């Protein structure tokens, strides 16, 4: 549905995007993750056709954003980071204005506005001036304008930024509900958000895509070895020494009464550990492998682990 090929973007001396490539399939939900200034907004603005790339090509639904900008705009609903809302318009008037901009036939305006206001649950504020709405409701109106015309693709730039925790949950739930029949790119620098909503994550750092995968395979790819967490009853110092001597064990840390055992790439020490502890009479109470959280992945990706993913 979306194809980004070798896209670069320069702002004068500043290279904001350094030749990025990715594809988004129909109906996919992509999380676009990166720290501030990584190039998320720039990428989204290029996909929506708001700014041109310096070089490279973007296609949406087969249309080139540069050669067929109107066809692309029709396919996309865009929620910019700071949606341009008109504070002195009522919600209804503003959405009607957007429907006009999007060339929705006049006789369909009321039906379309009703549909969108229903989906986004803003019918109760339809006659309020936008300036009198809470930040959460303003963001809903921003989402509503993106949905007018029922576009196949939604591009949402940090849709929950600046909202309070309750509003964040509401907006995330709305996006989740929309995700059943739309192709969505959602940018964020909040990792659990992406983890919760996206099926695939693109991680961008300093204008380069440093990883793209599902949250769980990213975690697997990044793990240097397994981290095994084990709770064992008995003399902790003695047990630690015994584990350290097992084949394949790289490091053992004792945290809150449990052993975190780091192993090499191929090491699976669970069986050896079991027999050894049984032999010594130390019962294993619990044993599990721990997944890296997206937060940890992200920290690794953007700091010392960049090389691992290339
Ligand atoms: N119009 C512009 N002129 C000059 N530099 C720009 C312009 N827009 C963006 N940049 C720079 O390009 C880089 C990428 O910016 P971009 O806004 O795409 O990042 P981002 O990942 O969306 O970050 P944020 O979360 O802060 O919005 C940044 O270093 C930014 O300062």
pLDDT tens, residue by residue, 42-95: 999 999 998 999 999 999 999 999 888 888 988 999 999 888 889 999 999 999
More confident residue, 62 or 292: 62
Please list, in sequence order, all residues whose beta carbon lies within 8 angstroms of the beta carbon of residue 220, skipping any fewer than 6 positions away. Answer: none
Tell me, in angstroms, the distance from the centre of ligand 1 to residue 121's CA.
32
**Angle at the Cα of 97 from the Cα atoms of 92 and 99, rounded to 5 degrees:** 95
**Pocket lining: 80 vs ligand 1, CB cutoff 6 Å:** no
Which part of the chain has CATH 3.40.50.300? 2-214
**What is the model's pLDDT at position 251?**
86
Tell me, in angstroms, the distance from the centre of ligand 1 to residue 132's CA.
30
**Structural contact between residues 195 and 270, judged by C-beta atoms closer than 8 angstroms:** no
CATH fold, domain 2-214, is Rossmann fold (3.40.50)
What would the pLDDT profile of 233-255 be if each residue is shown by its tens digit? Answer: 999 999 999 999 998 888 899 98
Ligand 1 atom 26: residue of nearest CA: 36
What would the pLDDT profile of 182-241 be if each residue is shown by its tens digit? Answer: 999 999 877 667 777 888 989 888 899 988 888 777 766 665 556 789 999 999 999 999
Which part of the chain has CATH 3.30.70.100? 224-291
DSSP notation for 7-71: EEEEETTEEEEEEEEEEE-TT-EEEEE--TTSSHHHHHHHHTTSS--SEEEEEETTEETTT-HHH
Report the CATH number of the 224-291 domain.
3.30.70.100
Tell me, in angstroms, the distance from the centre of ligand 1 to residue 41's CA.
7
**Pocket lining: 275 vs ligand 1, CB cutoff 6 Å:** no
Ligand 1 atom 24: residue of nearest CA: 36
CA 79 to the chain's CA centroid: 15
């Amino acid at each position: 549905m979306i194809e980004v090929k070798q896209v670069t973007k320069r702002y004068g001396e500043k290279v904001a995007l350094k030749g990025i490539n990715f594809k988004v399939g129909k109906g996919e939900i992509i999380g676009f993750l990166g720290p501030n200034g990584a190039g998320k907004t720039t990428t989204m603005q290029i996909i929506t056709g708001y700014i041109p790339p310096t070089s490279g090509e973007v296609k949406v639904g087969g249309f080139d954003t540069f050669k067929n900008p109107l066809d692309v705009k029709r396919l996309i609903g865009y929620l910019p980071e700071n949606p341009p809302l008109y504070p002195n318009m009522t919600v209804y008037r503003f959405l009607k204005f957007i429907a006009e901009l999007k060339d929705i036939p006049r006789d369909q305006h009321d039906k379309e506005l009703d549909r969108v206001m229903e989906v986004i649950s803003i019918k109760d504020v339809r006659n309020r001036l936008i300036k009198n709405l809470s930040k959460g409701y303003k963001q809903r109106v921003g989402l509503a304008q993106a949905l007018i015309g029922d576009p196949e693709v939604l591009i949402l730039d940090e849709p929950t930024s600046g909202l309070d925790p309750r509003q964040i949950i509401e907006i995330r739930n709305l996006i989740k509900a929309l995700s059943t029949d739309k192709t969505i790119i959602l940018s964020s620098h909040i990792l659990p958000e992406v983890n919760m909503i996206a099926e695939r994550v693109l991680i961008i750092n300093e204008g380069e895509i440093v990883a793209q995968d599902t949250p769980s395979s990213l975690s697997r790819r990044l793990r240097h070895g397994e981290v095994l967490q084990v709770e064992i009853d008995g003399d902790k110092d003695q047990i630690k020494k015994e584990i350290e001597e097992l084949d394949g064990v790289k490091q053992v840390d004792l945290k809150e009464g449990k052993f975190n055992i780091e192993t090499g790439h191929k090491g699976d020490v669970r069986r050896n550990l079991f027999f050894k502890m049984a032999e010594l009479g130390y019962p294993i109470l619990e044993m599990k492998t721990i997944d890296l959280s997206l937060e940890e992945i992200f920290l690794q990706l953007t700091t010392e682990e960049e090389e691992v993913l290339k």
